[in-house]
Amino acid sequence: MVGKTSLEQTHAGCQQLFTQAQPSAKFWKLLQFPLIRILLVGLFFLPFLAFHNTIVADLIVAAPEPKRSFLHYGDSILSVVVILLLYALYVRWVEKRKAVELSGEGAIAELGVGWLISSGIVVGMVVLMWMAGYYKIADTGSGKALVDAIFVFGIGALVQVLLFRLIIFRLLEEFVGTWVALVSVSATFGFAHLGNENATVWAAVALAAADVIMIAPFVLTRRLWMAWGLHWSWNFMQDGVFGMPNSGITELPSWIVAAIGGPHWLTGGRFGIEASVIVVIVSLAVGLLMLKIAIERDQILSPVWRRRRSQTA
């Protein structure tokens, strides 16, 4: 049986992300329930998203080039700052704690590791398909396409990581534990893409399985940066550089115009390499390796009822 001291050591890396609020009234206690907080955090982002998507976005689109591009770049950088600030304010005001998951110490290194992991997988797949004759460069665009892609995929990856990892996964994990939360969020992430163009049931299943590599960095580090770097680099390299579909979407900015053929089990077809059997296997292997390290570092959280039972033992 795990005693209280052992439990505290096991969950030391996770407890710093628990709410520190201790309300006395029943209503405020209800608001601290993890599943309720998933909804509550949305209230911090809705005003900004509504203002940005209805006013700011229209102003940028209406601007002529090159002013439009510079406005877009500036808007992306400012949006990153605002989104992270709103998340930090939510944590401070609702959970009554410091947002340690946004701590800047070591952030560049973790962001870089995430970039290296994704870049290695994507480049490896491109080389494999090229050697098999399934990937050919039809044309190349300007350097501006690369710059545009950096900003487009950077802000897009941040929003998804914040939503699926730091909000839904973290708060669900606090209640049901790491493993149930991981399976639940991976399934949600995969099947949320069924609405994408060129999506199939297999593509959704593949995304759900491979999503382990997207969640594992947060479980391992308990911080945003590696997960963001991994997601950002994946989308940028796959679509922004090599011109492959990004989860079935083909109209995003890309530097290389590629001609891709070959069996879907290898290339992922029109959905992109996320639906490749090889990518699913490699992503699962890398994600499971990170989870193994997380287990060794005592970063795995048991469900709340087991924690309470152990604390009273």
Residue-wise pLDDT tens digits, 116-149: 999 999 999 999 999 999 999 998 888 888 999 9
Residue 8 within any structural domain of the chain = no
Flag the least confident range among 51-60, 91-100, 163-172, 287-296. 51-60
Tell me: do 133 and 259 sit in the same domain. yes
Residue 11, pLDDT score:
57
Please tell me whether residues 70 and 112 are part of one structural domain: no
As a whole number of angstroms, the distance between CA 57 and CA 152 comes to 13
234-288 pLDDT, tens digit each: 999 999 999 998 887 777 778 999 999 999 999 999 899 999 999 999 999 999 9
pLDDT of residue 8: 41
Give mean pLDDT, residues 146-168.
Answer: 93
The answer to whether position 165 is within a domain reads yes
Q: Is residue 59 part of a domain?
A: yes
Same domain as 175, residue 58: no
| pLDDT tens string 51-98 | 988 888 888 988 988 889 999 999 999 999 999 999 999 999 999 999
Q: Residue 3: inside a domain, yes or no? A: no
Domain match, 115 and 56 both: no
263 or 308, which is more confident: 263
Stronger pLDDT, 125 or 10, i.e. the higher one: 125
Residue 10 has pLDDT above 90, yes or no: no
Q: So what's the pLDDT on residue 3? A: 36
Written as one string, the DSSP assignment of 118-175 is HHHHHHHHHHHHHHTT-EEEEEE--HHHHHHHHHHHHHHHHHHHIIIIIIIIHHHHHH
How far apart are alpha carbons 39 and 48 in whole angstroms?
16
Token pair in block for residue 311: 């604390």
* Burial classification of residue 131, based on how many CB atoms lie within 10 Å of its CB (0-12 exposed, 13-18 middle, 19 or more buried): exposed
Give whichever of 127-131, 198-202, 305-309 has the largest mean pLDDT: 127-131
Q: Do residues 164 and 26 make contact, with C-beta atoms less than 8 angstroms apart?
A: no
200 and 83 share one domain? no
Asked whether residue 52 falls in the same domain as residue 107, the answer is no
Instruction: Count structural domains, the chain.
Output: 2
**By C-alpha distance, which of 212, 222, 180, 165 is closest to 306?**
180
pLDDT at 248: 72
- 238 in the same domain as 126: yes
Residue 245 lies in a domain: yes
Identify whether residues 130 and 180 lie together within a single domain: yes
What is the domain extent for residue 55?
A: 19-96
Residue 5 scores a pLDDT above 50 = no
Domain end, chosen from 66, 96, 126, is at 96
- Band (pLDDT 50/70/90 cuts) for residue 27 is confident
User: Are both 82 and 187 inside the same structural domain?
Assistant: no
Mean of the per-residue pLDDT values of the chain: 89
Q: Does any domain span residue 120?
A: yes
Higher-confidence residue of 167 and 9: namely 167
* pTM (two decimals): 0.90
pLDDT average, residue stretch 213-234 = 96
Does the pLDDT of residue 201 top 50, yes or no?
Answer: yes
Closest by CA position to 57, among listed 190, 176, 152, 163: 152
> Does residue 28 sit within a domain?
yes
| Residue 34 CA: distances (Å) to CA of 31, 139, 306 | 8, 50, 16
Give the per-residue pLDDT at 2: 33
Query: Of 96, 125, 157, which residue sits at a domain end?
Result: 96
Asked if 90 and 107 sit in the same domain, the reply is no
Say if residue 40 is in the same domain as residue 137: no
Task: Answer yes or no: do 227 and 137 share one domain.
Answer: yes
Residue that wins the pLDDT comparison between 22 and 224:
224
pLDDT of residue 7: 38
Report the C-alpha gap between 271 and 92 in whole angstroms: 40
Instruction: Tell which of 44, 72, 96 closes a domain.
Output: 96
CA end-to-end span of the chain, whole Å? 8
10 within some domain: no
The count of other CB atoms within 10 Å of the CB of residue 298 is 14
What's the pLDDT score for residue 12?
57
Under a CB-based contact definition with an 8 Å cutoff, are residues 174 and 304 in contact?
yes
* pLDDT classification of 313: cutoffs 50, 70, 90: low
